[in-house]
Amino acid sequence: MKAAVLREANKPLEIEEVQISKPGPREVLVRPVAAGVCHSDLHFLDGSYPYPMPTILGHESAGVVEEVGSDVTYVKKGDHVITCLSAFCGHCNKCLTGHLSLCASPEVSRDATEESRLSIQGETVHQFLNLSSFAELMLIHEHALVKVREDMPMDRAALIGCSTTTGVGAVFHTAGVEPGSKVAVIGCGGVGLAAINGAAIAGAGQIIAVDRVDSKLELAKAVGATHTINASSGNAVGEVVEMTQGGCDYTFEAIGLKSTAEQAFQMLCSGGTATIIGMIPVGTMVELHGVDFLAEKKIQGSNMGSNRFRVDMPRFVDFYLSGKLHLDEMISKHIKLADINLALDALKTGQEARHVIMFN
Amino acid sequence: MTLITIESEITGNVWKIEAAAGTATDEEDVILILESMKMEIPVESPEKGIIKEILVNEGDQVQEGQGLAILDTDS
């Protein structure tokens, strides 16, 4: 099969012929139909999150089951599925206490002594986040996918595989936004827009979108923002505090920077909660004013929207098909796998929403 | 002899050890690979040297700041 291979940070991906192993007992071979090109891929492309190479990026996809391993009963050939990097073992302490997205069990990947799932002429290709979706086929653990309705368009379904689940899940699960509350979202990329959409579904009273790009702020309005702030024009913290007459109940940081994480905390009212969704580079420290804790301000992380994706994703599909979840606006362009580097370059500019790779 | 302890920047599991004690390394050579929150994270040699000791085994859980390997940079 063909796949976009990353051999060195900050270098273009190369389309290469890659060998894929046969499904093990609990593995599923999926033929992706669509794969989103996500900003998180850039963190690994630029080396701010080191990853062993060669690897195949991509972690947001939907497709059709091609073949299943001998012990797989959940799906069969032909089923439509969304993949998810939050593969869960189902029996560790995190899974058994309802925190499936925090499962750290290595059993959903092959161990170092087994044949790797992906290779090029005998050379191991490191599977990215147990998925590697910039490829014509994916070999994944059965707990890294969920079945979905066949009337769900695959390009929209792919987005649910990461950005939607991360943004909406942060609002629903990690923060637990209450109806009528005041919310600010910093960063209006795919995840930030999903958080705004999620806040609207949750019934937030005031939803303030913060970004430096006017076109993204327009998108934010289209998916549920009640107010927008272009952060390049001044002091976003001051504007949010003024608009909300004292700060937000909930803030969400969806960029991954020290400065905006600190701003998310500064935008809170007493008792408010800041949720950091963005991937802050390894080694970066975040600084807060200690006295703010006396006002019961809280800050927390969110990984993949604290999801239980086999429950959440079919619900998000229903939200889309009933008009509550806005995914059409999130896709700026459909591309071929061969154009992946153009899509990654476009993401770096921050001017566009998502490109989605279509495989047929 | 100048010894450097290479520490883990994250909490996770040791997925694979790529270099044994006695191996000569260049800067950025991968010594071992950690797994954390579904990510494989390579731990690289900070400079040229010889690995004096690997302090962990494959499958071990490691904490942020825990020593993973000792590098002799005078060799």
Q: Is A43 a catalytic residue?
A: yes
**What are the DSSP calls for A271-298, one per residue?**
EEEEEE-S-PPTT------GGGGGGT-E
Sorted by sequence, the CB contacts under 8 Å of residue A20 that are 6+ apart come out as A1, A29, A117, A118, A135, A137, A139
Q: Which two tokens stand for residue A101?
A: 């997205």
Whether the predicted pLDDT of A207 surpasses 80: yes
Say if residues A145 and A81 touch (Cβ distance below 8 Å): yes
Residues of B in Cβ contact (< 8 Å) with A86: 38
Give the mean model confidence (pLDDT) for residues A240-250. Answer: 97
Say if residues B42 and B33 touch (Cβ distance below 8 Å): yes
Residues of B in Cβ contact (< 8 Å) with A126: 40
Q: Cβ B40–A51 below 8 Å, yes or no?
A: yes
Say if residues A189 and A195 touch (Cβ distance below 8 Å): no
Q: What are phi and psi of A267, to 5 degrees?
A: -85, -5
Q: Is A188 a catalytic residue?
A: no
C-alpha distance from B12 to closest chain A C-alpha (Å): 8
ipTM given for this complex = 0.72
Q: For residue A34, list its beta bridge partners.
A: A62, A358
Whether the predicted pLDDT of B75 surpasses 70: no
Closest CA relative to residue A39, chosen from A301, A358, A359, A349: A349
Q: Is A143 a catalytic residue?
A: no
Mean pLDDT of chain A, nearest integer: 95
Please state, in angstroms and rounded to a whole number, the distance separating the CA atoms of residues A256 and A86. 20
Q: Which two tokens stand for residue A7?
A: 């051999």
What are A31-50's pLDDT values in tens digits?
A: 999 999 988 898 899 888 88
Say if residues A349 and A332 touch (Cβ distance below 8 Å): no
Whether the predicted pLDDT of A346 surpasses 70: yes
Indicate which of A43, A111, A118, A162 best probes the interface with B, i.e. most B CBs within 10 Å of its own CB: A111
Please state, in angstroms and rounded to a whole number, the distance separating the CA atoms of residues A30 and A229. 42
Q: Cβ B33–A106 below 8 Å, yes or no?
A: no
What are A286-337's pLDDT values in tens digits?
A: 999 999 999 999 999 999 999 999 999 999 999 999 999 999 999 989 999 9
Please state, in angstroms and rounded to a whole number, the distance separating the CA atoms of residues A102 and A87. 9
Q: Is the dihedral of CA A45, A46, A47, A53 positive or negative?
A: positive
Is A47 an 8 Å CB contact of chain B? Answer: no
Give the mean model confidence (pLDDT) for residues A83-92. Answer: 96
Return the pLDDT at A105. 84
What are B4-45's pLDDT values in tens digits?
A: 999 998 888 999 999 999 999 999 899 999 988 888 889 999
C-alpha distance from A50 to closest chain B C-alpha (Å): 6
Give the mean model confidence (pLDDT) for residues A267-273. Answer: 98
**What pTM did the predictor assign?**
0.90
Q: For residue A56, list its beta bridge partners.
A: A127
Q: Is A95 a catalytic residue?
A: no
Q: Cβ A282–B10 below 8 Å, yes or no?
A: yes
Return the pLDDT at A230. 96
What are A145-161's pLDDT values in tens digits?
A: 999 999 999 999 999 99
Say if residues A73 and A142 touch (Cβ distance below 8 Å): no
Give the mean model confidence (pLDDT) for residues A242-264. Answer: 97
